[in-house]
Structure 1
Amino acid sequence: MGIHVARFKTGNEVHWGWVRARQVVPVPGQYPSLGAFLEHGQERAWAMSVGGAGKGLPLAEVEVLSPVTSPCNVVCQGQNYRSHMLEVGLDPDAKDFNQFFRKACSSLTSSTGDIVRPKRVRMLDYEVELGLIIGRRIDGPLQVTRARLHEVVAGLVMGNDISARDLQLIEGQWHKAKSFRTFCPVGPFLYLLAPEDLVRLMDLRLSLSVNGELRQNASTAEMIYPPEETLTELSEVMDLFPGDLVLTGTPSGVGAGRTVSRLARGVGSFIRLFLSDRMLAKLILKSSNPAAYLKEGDVIRASISSPDGVIHLGMQENRVVAQESVTVVDGTAPAIRVGGI
């Protein structure tokens, strides 16, 4: 069985710790990044979990930070769940390629950090996702198998791929639409994988609610491209490093899904042939139900766990806030507040 670890702050100091029974036991040593912790600290965390030694701090009395640290690669999969493809009018059985895009690592925030809605964004959306943490350097093609996935993936985290759908649709720029600061809440915990955990990987339950209303509730069994296939293909494309994050897609229930599926039924496939992507995007924006998207004051709660509770990635609770006014003075501007990174 794997173990849970957390990156946390007490006073002005940042530590890593082994999580047990609502407490976090500090791991000896200083690790300025997730990569450094994986290289030098995780063995100590494993040893502590076996020995059970160490005095714990109540989790409620520390500030839990994102376990993923910047700089790092944040690679995402698009349309990787069958239900999500169906809700946007696409046939998952016809999909013949694995879709990748990037998020800026400056979008990282904690599991309790505020999500800042930029002033120009009207369609702010959510996507709960299972995240894979790379545990070893990959600098060339590598055949990854499920049985040996733990040799490549150090652990699992929960992420939320916050998206500005209006910018994504009108401008066609996924990177910009998904990379604003605070658009990637991660954590609270990093679950370090053990070989026996791999049988649970495709039976994890993803759940997300907005203001108490359940919006997403599905299983990783819906994935079209499972982690081993995804990492095998990524290894042919790019280098990956310890501490990098791969987000594996989201199931149905996103705000945009409701609009697109309704619109697809309305316009029909024949009429769609005469619409450019930009025209269709504008039609989607015009037809959108504002209630489907996030607004200031909304609270998003998300969780990922196995049915037996062995793998549980904690609970995210993030509030949506408005972007504060930025006043330029002598060529400088105050930074947007980003909680818990």
Structure 2
Amino acid sequence: MGIHIARFKAGGEVRWGWVRAGQVVPIPGKYVSLAEFLESGQERAWAMSTGGGGKGQPLSEVEVLSPVTSPCNVVCQGQNYRSHMLEVGQDPDTKDFNQFFRKASSSLTSSRGDIVRPQRVRMLDYEIELGLVIGRGLHQPMQVTRERLHEVVAGLVMANDVSARDLQLLEGQWHKAKSFRTFCPVGPFLYLLSPEDRGRLMDLRLSLSVNGELRQSASTAEMIYPPEETLSELSEVMDLYPGDLVLTGTPSGVAAGRTVSRLARSVGSFMRLFLSDRTLAKLILKSSNPAAYLKEGDVIRASITSPDGVIHLGMQENRIVAQEAMAVVEDTAPAIRVGGI
């Protein structure tokens, strides 16, 4: 059985801790990044979990931060759940390639951080996703197996791949549409994997609600490309480093999905052959239901758990806020970072 880890701030100091029974027990040592924690802190965390650890502090008394830290690679899978492909009018049985895209690590924020809607974005969407935290560097092609996945993946996190659908559809720029600051809430917990968890990985339940209305509910069993296949293919393409994050796709229920599915049925596959991508995008935008998208004041709650409760990645609760007018920053001014990571 694995263990739950939190990165938190208490008394003005950022620490890492082992989570048990609603408390967090500080792990000895200082680790500036997730990569540093994985290198020398996780061994101490495992030792604490077997030895009972020390005195804990209630989680309610600390500020829990994102366990994934910037800078890092954030690699995402597109259309990796059968139900999501169906809701956007595509046949999952005909998919013959694994789709990847990137998300800026500056989009990371905490599981309680506000999500800032840029002024120009009108179609703000949510996507609950299971995240894989890389624990071992991949610098050459490698065949990753389910049985040895824990040797490559240090642990699991929950993430929300927040997306500006209007920019994504009209401009065709996924990276821009998904990389605004605060567009990637992660946490609250990092679950460090054990060999025994391989049987639970494809039986996790994902759930997301907006203002109490359940929008997404599915199992990781729906994945078209499971983690071991995904990491094997990624290792052929790029280097991955300890602390990098791989997001494994989202199930059905996203705001855009309802519109795309309805449009696909009305237009038909034959007529779509004669429409450009931009024309299709304009049709989607025109027929969209504005009420389905996120607006200021909305609260998103999300969770990922195994049926037996052994793996529980905590509860995310993020509120949508409006972007303030951009201020003119002089060249000599310090850099400003948005979001609590």
- TM-score, structure 2 normalization: 0.98
Specify the code of the residue in structure 2 equivalent to 1:255: A
CA distance in 2, matches of 1:13, 1:133: 24
Cα distance, 1:274 vs. partner? 1.6
Query: Percentage identity across aligned positions?
Result: 86
Contact kept? 1:72, 1:244, Cα under 8 Å = yes
Three-state SS of the structure 2 residue aligned to 1:327 is: coil
Three-state SS of the structure 2 residue aligned to 1:339 is: coil
Specify the code of the residue in structure 1 equivalent to 2:270: F
CA distance in 2, matches of 1:141, 1:258: 38
CA distance in 2, matches of 1:38, 1:144: 20
CA distance in 1, matches of 2:203, 2:100: 23
Partner of 1:307: 307
CA deviation profile, 1:33-67 (whole Å, cap 9, x unmatched) = 00000000001000101111211011000000000
CA deviation profile, 1:131-178 (whole Å, cap 9, x unmatched) = 000001110000000000000000000000000000000000000000
Partner of 1:60: 60
Partner of 2:323: 323
Specify the code of the residue in structure 2 equivalent to 1:115: I
CA distance in 1, matches of 2:101, 2:86: 20
Contact kept? 1:134, 1:154, Cα under 8 Å = yes
Q: How does 1:78-117 map to 2 (within 5 A)?
A: 78-117=78-117
Three-state SS of the structure 2 residue aligned to 1:236 is: helix
Three-state SS of the structure 1 residue aligned to 2:278 is: helix
Flag the 1:336–1:217 CA change in 2: closer, same or farther, 3 A.
farther
CA deviation profile, 1:86-122 (whole Å, cap 9, x unmatched) = 0000000000000000000000000000000000001
Flag the 1:233–1:189 CA change in 2: closer, same or farther, 3 A.
same
CA deviation profile, 1:213-270 (whole Å, cap 9, x unmatched) = 0000000000000000000000000000000000000000000000000111111222
Partner of 2:139: 139
Partner of 1:39: 39
Contact kept? 2:4, 2:18, Cα under 8 Å = yes
CA distance in 2, matches of 1:34, 1:161: 20
Partner of 1:294: 294
Q: Which of 331-340 and 282-291 deviates more?
A: 331-340
Contact kept? 1:22, 1:58, Cα under 8 Å = yes
Specify the code of the residue in structure 1 equivalent to 2:31: Y
Cα distance, 1:337 vs. partner? 6.5
Cα distance, 1:335 vs. partner? 7.1
Contact kept? 2:227, 2:248, Cα under 8 Å = yes
Contact kept? 1:114, 1:338, Cα under 8 Å = no
Specify the code of the residue in structure 1 equivalent to 2:40: H
- Unaligned 5+ residue runs, structure 1? none
CA distance in 2, matches of 1:276, 1:333: 45
Three-state SS of the structure 2 residue aligned to 1:50 is: helix
CA distance in 2, matches of 1:184, 1:333: 26
Cα distance, 1:83 vs. partner? 0.1
Count of residue pairs brought into register by the alignment: 341
Specify the code of the residue in structure 1 equivalent to 2:127: E
Matched, 1:49 2:40: no
- Unaligned 5+ residue runs, structure 2? none
Q: How does 1:215-226 map to 2 (within 5 A)?
A: 215-226=215-226
Partner of 1:257: 257
CA distance in 1, matches of 2:119, 2:310: 41
Flag the 1:263–1:212 CA change in 2: closer, same or farther, 3 A.
same
Partner of 2:21: 21
Contact kept? 2:181, 2:339, Cα under 8 Å = no
Three-state SS of the structure 1 residue aligned to 2:294 is: coil
Partner of 1:185: 185
Q: How does 1:104-253 map to 2 (within 5 A)?
A: 104-253=104-253
CA distance in 1, matches of 2:123, 2:256: 8
Contact kept? 2:304, 2:313, Cα under 8 Å = yes
**How large is the RMSD of aligned CA atoms in angstroms?**
1.2
Moved segments of 4+, more than 6 Å: 332-337
Cα distance, 1:293 vs. partner? 0.5
CA distance in 1, matches of 2:324, 2:10: 27
- TM-score, structure 1 normalization: 0.98
Contact kept? 1:203, 1:219, Cα under 8 Å = yes
CA deviation profile, 1:262-294 (whole Å, cap 9, x unmatched) = 111111222212210001101100100001100
Three-state SS of the structure 1 residue aligned to 2:237 is: coil
Specify the code of the residue in structure 1 equivalent to 2:147: A
CA distance in 1, matches of 2:150, 2:326: 45
Specify the code of the residue in structure 2 equivalent to 1:45: A
CA distance in 2, matches of 1:227, 1:267: 35
Three-state SS of the structure 1 residue aligned to 2:291 is: helix
Contact kept? 1:326, 1:333, Cα under 8 Å = no
